[in-house]
């Protein structure tokens, strides 16, 4: 039987769908850190062909979410404290750079969209809602800097940080969310005033507070794992 030549546009779309689908499985805790899976299992779960799933796995292994397990398997990497600290250090550097560009290049429309997202953050009642709105908020600030390369790097970083946040999530903490919301308000006001120094300081404070909370949760998780191993 003759086979038709592959449609590269269709294959790329399928690979992107597989990539997003695997990330969603991790975010929804359907794939947990340390859990092994395979191309065949993922293709069946996502209802996508093996070739685009293999491409997505290779991409995610390169990005550090997955690693090779055995001859034909793959595994979700466990959350590593040092890696988490490195991700947040990179985030601080990228947002620091973005602050300069956003102050210079943000349009009235950009700032209006950021403020709308701030309102969405204030209405969040679940961890998932807050994390999604938070990702959008910071992505909008970075986009306002007007540097497409920065947007691309930050987008990939946000995916990895979002996964860390979801995997370590607890019940929704309204008090903590309100505190982060006040930090976001300070960030928006600094951008509206075009004050790069205040904006940088506000972003740094916010990121450091978020990192401290994540690392504290990671410490608790590590303690629970050690306790379970002793039993």
Distances (CA, A) of 83 to 36, 132, 213: 21, 22, 15
Q: What is the pLDDT of residues 172-209, one digit of tens each?
A: 778 888 899 999 999 999 999 999 999 999 999 999 99
CA distance 112 to 94: 22
Nearest to 100 by CA among 208, 184, 203: 203
Domains by residue range for the chain, with CATH: 14-76 (1.10.10.10), 81-229 (1.20.120.530)
Question: Residue 112 has what pLDDT?
Answer: 97
Q: Where does 28-147 have alpha helices with state H?
A: 39-46, 50-63, 81-105, 108-122, 127-144
Q: At 74, phi and psi to the nearest 5?
A: -140, 160
32 and 78 Cβ atoms separated by less than 8 Å = no
Assigned token pair, 38: 């395979």
Residue 125 confidence (pLDDT) above 80: yes
Buried residues in 113-129 as b, exposed as e (16+ CB within 10 A): bbbebbebbeebeebee
- The pLDDT assigned to 209 comes to 93
pLDDT digits (tens, 9 = 90+) for 201-227: 999 999 999 999 889 888 877 777 667
**Can you tell me the distance from the alpha carbon of 214 to that of 8, in angstroms, rounded to the nearest whole number?**
40
Mean pLDDT of the chain: 87
pLDDT tens readout for residues 129-174: 888 899 999 999 999 999 999 999 999 898 888 778 766 666 677 8
Task: Write the CB contacts of 146 (distance below 8 Å, at least 6 apart in sequence).
Answer: 101, 105
């Amino acid at each position: 039987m003759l086979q038709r030549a592959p449609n590269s546009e269709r294959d790329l779309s399928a690979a992107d769908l597989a990539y997003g689908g695997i990330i969603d499985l991790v975010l929804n805790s359907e794939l947990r850190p340390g859990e092994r899976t395979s191309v065949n299992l993922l293709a069946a779960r996502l209802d996508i062909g093996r070739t685009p799933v293999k491409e997505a796995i290779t991409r995610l292994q390169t990005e550090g979410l997955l690693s090779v397990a055995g001859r034909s398997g793959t595994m979700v990497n466990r959350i590593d404290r040092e890696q988490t600290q490195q991700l947040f250090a990179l985030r601080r550097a990228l947002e620091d750079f973005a602050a300069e560009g956003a102050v210079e290049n943000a349009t009235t429309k950009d700032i209006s969209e950021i403020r709308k997202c701030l309102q969405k953050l204030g209405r969040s009642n679940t961890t998932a809602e807050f994390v999604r709105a938070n990702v959008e908020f910071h992505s909008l600030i970075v986009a306002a800097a007007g540097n497409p390369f920065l947007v691309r790097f930050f987008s990939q970083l946000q995916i990895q940080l979002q996964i860390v946040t979801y995997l370590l999530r607890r019940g929704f903490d309204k008090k903590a969310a309100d505190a982060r919301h006040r930090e976001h308000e300070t960030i928006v006001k600094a951008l509206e005033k075009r004050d790069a120094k205040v904006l940088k300081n506000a972003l740094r404070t916010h990121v450091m507070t978020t990192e401290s909370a994540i690392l504290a949760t990671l410490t608790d998780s590590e303690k629970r794992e050690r306790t379970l191993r002793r039993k």
